[in-house]
Every structure is written in structure tokens, then in C-alpha cells.
Structure 1
Amino acid sequence: MKKISTILLLGLFILTLSFAAAAQDLSGEEVLTNIENARQAETASMQMTMELYNAAGDMRSRQLNSRHKEGEVEKSLIEFTSPADVAGTAFLSLEDNSSSEEDMYLFLPVLGSVRKISGSQKNGNFVGSDLSYIDLTVFSGANYKDNYQADVLDSSSEEYLLKLNPTDPDINYKYGKMWVKTDIWSPKKVEFYDQSEELLKTVQLEDFKKIDNNWIAQKITVKNEQKGTKTVMKMTEIKFNINLDDQLFTTRYLER
């Protein structure tokens, strides 16, 4: 009986190692594909609070809505609702999956018109936050695969560490590093490095919750390591697979 128990334990140990090896034997591209496939929702609507902290720790708070719709053209819309000085400010992103071309638009109420964001402007800070416009397209639902090529730096049964090499010439980061949770196939931390290969920005994703079969981080902290500023986004309401009219994702809607 003791011999049989030993054999069974040895078999279970080998089986466990086999599963662990299988989980670790993925390429960077396959990990990014798993992240993409983990997103089941066709549409998403979120209400959130954005907290902006300066280097001294002083905080300003803003409220905004974010909506996203999958399709041949991936559509994302972010609208600020308060305070009064930013209310009505909106950002629209339209990405054609057939060509990977992406159009970005910003509406500022004080100007009363839509401005297209292109080229190096995509690396500018979004409404005084620590996020660039390119960062927004990733966090609002666009795929990392559209902007980065990934190599595996390290792996275990619990997480992958990837190096992200920009494929979009408009991205001003030299490279990034991303830690990915294998249980839910979601990034939990991302680091971005400048052209001098100095750490520029750290993104921390926390408080994961499963809603309608979709895992989402309810808190995202973006810290500029060189300036000492940070932006904290807290999700207050999240809805998936709701009806979103295509007319929401137009420049005409921004100017309404």
C-alpha cells in the first residue's frame, strides 16, 4: 500500500509539473492573445473617478464616463461630467481592425470644436493626467497586440513577465514590461521606459472583480516616476453587453 501511495504521489507530481510546463510554454504573442480572448464583452460602459495627485500630494478629483464597443472598428468614448472646468471634455478613438489605423479626436468645450490628435501628439498628457492618449486606447479596450510586440522575459504557473516593444511609430516609449496574471489573463502591472531606458511610468491594476464573465481592475494607478505625480482611476459603476448606439462614437456627437 505504501508503494502504491508513493507511485500515486509521484504520478500526481509529474502531472502537476506537466500542467505548469504547459502554462509556461507560451510565446509573448500568445500571452497577448490570451489577454485579448479573456475579454468576452461586446460593449462596456463605466463610470469612474479620476484622482490627480501632484508631486506634493495635493489631489484634484474628476468624474467621467467611458464607453467601448467592439466590431470591425473598435470604438471608445470618454466624457468628463465634473467638475465644471472639464465637464463636456470628450475623447474619441476609432480603430480599424482591418488596417490597424487609429483615429483620435478631442473635444474641448471652451473651443467648441473637435481637434484630431495625430503623430507625436498621441504621447501628450490627457487632460492633465499621467496618461497619454495612446495609454487611453489600451485601457479603454484596444488590444496590446495592435501597438506592441511581446517577448517573454520570465514565467511561472501564476504569471508571465513580458517585454513590450512598440510597433506603432507614434509611441514614444523605448519599451515596456508587463506582468500578467495567468488565472484571469489580465495585466497586473506595467512599466514604461523612456528613450534613455530610464523608468518613466508605472501602471498598477488592482481590486479585480468578475462581472458578467469579465474580469476587470476596479482601481488603476498610473505614476510618473520621474515627476512624482500620479493618477488614480476608480471604477464606480461597470456594465457589460449593453446597447450602445453607433452614433455615440462620432465627431458629430462630440459637438452636439
Structure 2
Amino acid sequence: MRSVINLIFVSLFIIWGNVVAQDAQSIVAKADAVVNAPKDQKATLTMILIDKNRNQKQRIAEFLQKGDDKRIMRFTAPADQKGIAFLGLPNDVQYLYMPAFHKVRRIASHVKNTKFAGTDFTYDDLSSFSYAKDYNAKLLSQDDQFWVLELTPKPGVNKDYGKLKMWVRKDNYYPAKVEFYDKGGNLWKVMERRQIEKVGKYWVSKEMEIKDLKEEHATIMKLENIEFDTGLPDKLFTKRYLKRAK
């Protein structure tokens, strides 16, 4: 009788564990879906770079995205940064355009964790707006406002981060905060999304800050002139368009 009870207990524990795991993974998938809900979007980005002495530099960029796997970011100011552009395409294909060399080059896998143009966003960060496909999720805790999840790279997925810790809002599934840990388990970066509000039928964060704790550097990104579902054509997300002068 005791063996039967133990067997039932173990079975229920396994089922409960699978349900929790599935719930955590579905939460991340829904968070991805909320962030990438628009068919397409475009915005003006104001980026403020802050060093450890609190000195600031400001950059302006245009941002275009179609679906969840096509995006362009191009600096339009200041003059020494104008024209530098990043293109992210499906299957983790990425390109960089540097006006000084008049050449588009593909970003190799081994440099995708390099920072983009002095910001605190790596090339991989700029492409990784979808977490469910690359990470396995586990529910750590929850309260009235947030689910707190631990994300670890799936087998075969190469990431510089050993794990992530993500706070997802319960009212709208928006990921409000992400902590990035290195492979030694040390906290490396913190990303916070602020001014989360609904624009039309979509939730959007109008201000994002990412801090690199190791380098004591931060980048604040503010979104302005946001437009959704304008019918951006595929030809905009090409190497030819990447070189277009602004």
C-alpha cells in the first residue's frame, strides 16, 4: 500500500513539475507575442549613453521592424555617427553598414556579442526580441504584479549569458525587467522597460534602460513618433536599403 501511495505521489509531483514548466514557457511566449504584436512598426529613437563618470552622449536613430525577425536601426545624428546602420534578418542573419567604408558586412557569429556603436546593446541583443525560441523558462516566484522567471539557453544555443531573470507583468504579459547573468553566475546587465502604455491596440515601452554593471555604463533609449501597421515593404529590410543615405 505504501509503495502505491509513493508511486502516486511521485507521479503527481512529475505532472505538477511539467505543468509549472509549461506555464513558465507559455508566459515567455506570450511576453514575446505582446512585444512583437504589431505587423510592423517604426519610430525615432533617442539614445543617451552614460559613462561611469555620468558623462552623457546623445544619438538619434530611426528604427524599423516587421514581424519579429526583421529590423533596421540607423543613426541619423550626430554627424560622426550618421549612417551607421544595423540590419537583422530571419535565421539570425545580421549586417552592419559603416559609411566610412561604404560597405555592408555580415556580422560573424563570434562577434555578435560585441556592442553596437558604443551602446550597451550587443548585436545579439538587437536581434533577440524573442526569448521563447532560445531559452527554457522556469517559474521562480510570483506576486500580485509579476511572474519572475529564470531563463537558461536551450541546448545547442550559443549565448554569452549563462541565464536571465525576467519580470513579466501579469496584467498584460509585458516583460518589464530583465537581468542578464554571465556564465559564472554573476549579474552582468540589467534592462528595465519604463513608460509602458497602450498605443492604439498595442502595448509599448516608451523608455528602456540597459546598464552594464561590469563597465559601469548605461544606455537609455526613448521612443518617439511611434507608428504601427503602416505596411512597411520587405524591400526596406535589405542590404541595399541599409546603405541609403539619410
> TM exceeds 0.5?
yes
Deviations 1:5-48 (A, max 9, x none): xxxxxxxxxxxxxxxxxxx9962211012113324310010111
Equivalent position SS for 2:32: helix
The counterpart of 1:155, out of the listed 142, 153, 167, is: 142
Q: Does 1:80 align with 2:75?
A: yes
Answer yes or no: is the 8 Å Cα contact 2:139–2:147 preserved in 1.
yes
Asked if the contact 2:92/2:127 (under 8 Å) is kept, the reply is: no
How is 1:43-122 mapped onto 2 (pairs within 5 angstroms)? 43-70=40-67, 74-95=69-90, 101-122=91-112
Whole-angstrom CA distance in 2 between matches of 1:254 and 1:131: 19
Tell me, yes or no, if the aligned pair for 1:107 and 1:255 is still in contact at 8 Å.
yes
Structure 2: give runs of 5+ residues left out of the alignment: 1-19
User: Which residue of the partner structure matches residue 125 of structure 1?
Assistant: 115
**2:218 pairs with 1:227:** no
The one-letter code matched in structure 2 to 1:234 is K
Asked if 2 retains the 8 angstrom alpha-carbon contact of 1:93 and 1:105, the reply is: yes
Indicate the residue corresponding to 1:210 in structure 2: 198
Q: 1:195 aligns to what SS in structure 2?
A: coil
List 4+ stretches of structure 1 deviating above 6 A. none
Match of 1:135 in 2: 125
Distance 2:170 2:72 in 1: 29
Matched, 1:27 2:23: yes
1:164 and 2:151 are equivalent in the alignment: yes
Question: 2: distance between equivalents of 1:79 and 1:227?
Answer: 25
How many residues are treated as equivalent by the alignment?
223
TM-score scaled by structure 2? 0.86
Q: Is the contact made by 2:21 and 2:139 (CA closer than 8 Å) also made in structure 1?
A: no
Displacement after TM superposition at 1:158 (Å)? 2.0
Matched residue, 1:8: none
CA contact (8 A) 1:122 1:171 kept: no
Paired residues of 2:83 and 2:243 also in contact (CA < 8 A):
no
Aligned partners of 2:77, 2:120: CA distance in 1, in Å?
18
Q: Equivalent pairs: percent with the same residue?
A: 31
Match of 1:18 in 2: none
Q: Please give the secondary structure, in 1, of the residue aligned with 2:132.
A: helix
CA deviation map 1:86-140 (0-9, x unaligned) = 1111100011xxxxx21000001011101111212110001101111111113xx
Q: Superposition RMSD on alpha carbons, in Å?
A: 1.7
SS of 1:220's equivalent? strand
Query: Cα offset for 1:170?
Result: 3.1
Contact 1:119 1:170 (C-alpha < 8 Å) held by counterparts: no
Tell me how far 1:171 sits from its aligned partner.
1.3
Q: Aligned-pair distance for 1:147? A: 2.2
For 1:106 and 1:170, the matched residues in 2 are separated by 21
TM-score where L is the length of structure 1: 0.83
SS of corresponding position for 1:146: coil
| Residue 169 of structure 1: how far off its partner (Å) | 3.2
